Amino acid sequence: MKRRHLSKKEVEHTAWLAHIELSEKEKKLFTEQFNDILDYFKKIDKVDTENVQPTYHVLELMNVYREDEATPSLPKEEALKNAPKKEKEFLKAPRIV
């Protein structure tokens, strides 16, 4: 027989925190499913991982960075040419209070 990790009361509390209403049937089902998942984690914990390198990403990707180079900014006229609203030489945005 499996050792129970979570009680029905704990599942009810979790559902309350998530603002989810569960029927009695769902509470029973989720209690069993959560405990099955926790039992599976116990199996995983028994695996010998002593010589296994941690996996940080499933694909061997490398970030490629370019050197930062200072370049001139766009001229104000160019930066503002497609702006829906402008005021003098600035973008005009709605007031947010």
Per-residue pLDDT, averaged over 7-23, amounts to: 96
Q: 45: burial class by Cβ within 10 Å (0-12, 13-18, 19+)?
A: exposed
Per-residue pLDDT, averaged over 10-29, amounts to: 96
Q: pLDDT over 70 for what percent of the chain?
A: 96
Contact yes or no for 14/37 (Cβ under 8 A) = no
Topology classification of domain 8-45: Histone, subunit A (1.10.20)
Q: 31: burial class by Cβ within 10 Å (0-12, 13-18, 19+)?
A: buried
Q: Which residues contact 5 (CB under 8 A, 6 or more apart)?
A: 34, 35, 38, 39
What is the predicted pLDDT for the residue at 1? 47
Q: Which residues contact 3 (CB under 8 A, 6 or more apart)?
A: 39
Per-residue pLDDT tens for 27-65?
A: 999 999 999 999 999 998 899 999 988 888 888 878 888
